[in-house]
Amino acid sequence: MVKIYYDKDADSKILKKKTIAVIGYGSQGAGQAQNLKDSGLNVIVGVRQDGESWAQAKADGLTVMTMSEAAKKADVIQMLVPDEIQGAIYASEIAPNMKKGKALCFSHGFNIHYNQIVPPKDVDVIMVAPKGPGFLVRRTYTEGNGVPALIAIYQDATGKARDIGMAYAKGIGATRAGVLETTFKEETETDLFGEQVDLCGGVTCLMKAAFETLVAAGYQPEIAYFETFHEMKLIVDLIHEGGLSKMWYYVSNTAEYGGLTVGPKIINELSKQAMKEALRRIQSGEFAKEFVLESRANRPVLNALERQENEHQVEKVGKELRSMMKWLNPE
């Protein structure tokens, strides 16, 4: 059984005399940098000079400099720019400033696992991956809690990589909730699989297909939205709180019987074959290659798919209905 590590398992002292550079100030960058600062650690932020993120980080009370300057000054460098541009930024801004004994950190293993970044052998390579978006990493920290995280060590050049990683996890509040040990390979492949097959890909396609089926059968789009989209939060919250057993306990007997008998007919062996194919493409690097090339070509496929998604009927119906639900946006 996997072991979960908490505050008592991490010693912040190892980072007290070190400078941590957070490269990038998006959702994760902002959340992690602010938490590290509030934990009493020496944090600097590296971003594009005079950009929007530069001004925001300064407004948040952080020391800001260019990525190259931050990497040069830092002992621990945390890469929190988007996956698709990490390789280029590392090559131009970070690599020239990687010196023996430094630590290179990530919150997702993509660029290391797929060799988009190949660090020198004399530096530590660590992953601390919060299992939640940056705004939640920040919010839970300010509430005295934290978001669970994964930790992995790819290179331990100094013999202290794990201690540094655990101290970093404590600095962002993750050890308050629990830290699980993994590898760059396992984190990368399971994370991509979850995103594609159920969390972001499978679930949204299932919901849209259900909505389209009801509308095509003549039902009102607004009613179809409630039954296929709006109520999803109720189900997910119950599963999040107490697993499938709690969800089945709280839904009606009709819902339980219908779900348990019809669900396997919708998500069946054909679905599992598609899942296995998605996993094969992730494991082989085929998906990574496709994504990297897509990004280098300025995202033509992704831009088109985003437009199609935004123009889908369910988005228009949902936006209208949500504007009437004042409790969703009380401000």
CATH number of the domain that residue 133 is part of: 3.40.50.720
Asked if 21 and 151 sit in the same domain, the reply is yes
- 130 in any annotated domain: yes
pLDDT of residue 325: 86
SS3 at position 154: strand
- 293 in any annotated domain: no
pTM above 0.85, yes or no: yes
Asked if 40 and 150 sit in the same domain, the reply is yes
pLDDT of residue 53: 94
**Tokens describing residue 14:** 């190892």
Domain boundary among the residues 154, 182, 210 is at 182
Please indicate if the annotation marks 107 as binding a ligand: no
- Domain containing 19: what range? 4-182
Residue 296 to residue 277: CA distance in whole angstroms? 25
**Tokens describing residue 241:** 């709180």
Q: With cut-offs at 50, 70 and 90, classify the pLDDT of residue 327.
A: confident
Asked if 127 and 224 sit in the same domain, the reply is no
pLDDT above 60 for 116: yes
pLDDT above 70 for 286: yes
**Tokens describing residue 144:** 């005295």
Please indicate if the annotation marks 26 as binding a ligand: yes
**Tokens describing residue 152:** 């992995």
- 283 in any annotated domain: no
- Residue type, position 51, single letter: G
Asked if 15 and 80 sit in the same domain, the reply is yes
- 190 in any annotated domain: no
- Percent above pLDDT 70 for the chain: 99
37 touches 61 (CB < 8 A): yes
Asked if 222 and 256 sit in the same domain, the reply is yes
Asked if 262 and 134 sit in the same domain, the reply is no
150, containing H or E segment = strand 149-155
Residue 131 to residue 107: CA distance in whole angstroms? 9
Asked if 222 and 263 sit in the same domain, the reply is yes
Domain boundary among the residues 122, 149, 182 is at 182
Active site (annotated) includes residue 240: no
Please indicate if the annotation marks 28 as binding a ligand: yes
15, containing H or E segment = helix 13-16
Q: With cut-offs at 50, 70 and 90, classify the pLDDT of residue 331.
A: low
Please indicate if the annotation marks 227 as binding a ligand: yes
Asked if 87 and 52 sit in the same domain, the reply is yes
What confidence tens digit (pLDDT) does each residue in 139-162 have? 999 999 999 999 999 999 999 999
pLDDT above 80 for 129: yes
Residue 252 to residue 189: CA distance in whole angstroms? 36
Active site residue: 108, 113, 230, 312, which one?
108
Domain boundary among the residues 156, 182, 208 is at 182
Residue among 14, 108, 23 nearest 62 (CA): 23
Please indicate if the annotation marks 231 as binding a ligand: yes
Query: Please, which residues bridge with residue 21 across strands?
Result: 44, 77
- 77 in any annotated domain: yes
Asked if 24 and 85 sit in the same domain, the reply is yes
pLDDT of residue 328: 79
86/329: higher pLDDT? 86
Asked if 154 and 112 sit in the same domain, the reply is yes
Asked if 177 and 205 sit in the same domain, the reply is no
Please indicate if the annotation marks 48 as binding a ligand: yes
Q: With cut-offs at 50, 70 and 90, classify the pLDDT of residue 326.
A: confident
- Give the single-character DSSP code of 273: H
pLDDT of residue 1: 78
pLDDT of residue 295: 94
pLDDT of residue 104: 98
What confidence tens digit (pLDDT) does each residue in 240-284 have? 999 999 999 999 999 999 999 999 999 999 999 999 999 999 999
- 289 in any annotated domain: no
Please indicate if the annotation marks 86 as binding a ligand: no
Count of alpha carbons within 13 angstroms of residue 255, beta-carbon side:
9
- Percent above pLDDT 90 for the chain: 95
pLDDT above 60 for 44: yes
SS3 at position 257: helix
Over range 6-15, report the average pLDDT.
Answer: 96
What confidence tens digit (pLDDT) does each residue in 164-194 have? 999 999 999 999 999 999 999 999 999 999 9
pLDDT above 80 for 330: no
Asked if 159 and 232 sit in the same domain, the reply is no
Residue 291 to residue 287: CA distance in whole angstroms? 6
pLDDT above 80 for 133: yes
- 106 in any annotated domain: yes
When divided into structural domains, the chain yields a total of 2
Q: Give the ranges where the chain is alpha helix by DSSP (H).
A: 13-16, 27-38, 52-59, 67-73, 83-89, 110-113, 134-142, 161-171, 174-177, 184-194, 202-216, 221-225, 232-250, 253-266, 269-284, 286-296, 300-311, 313-324
42 touches 20 (CB < 8 A): yes
- 97 in any annotated domain: yes
pLDDT of residue 59: 96
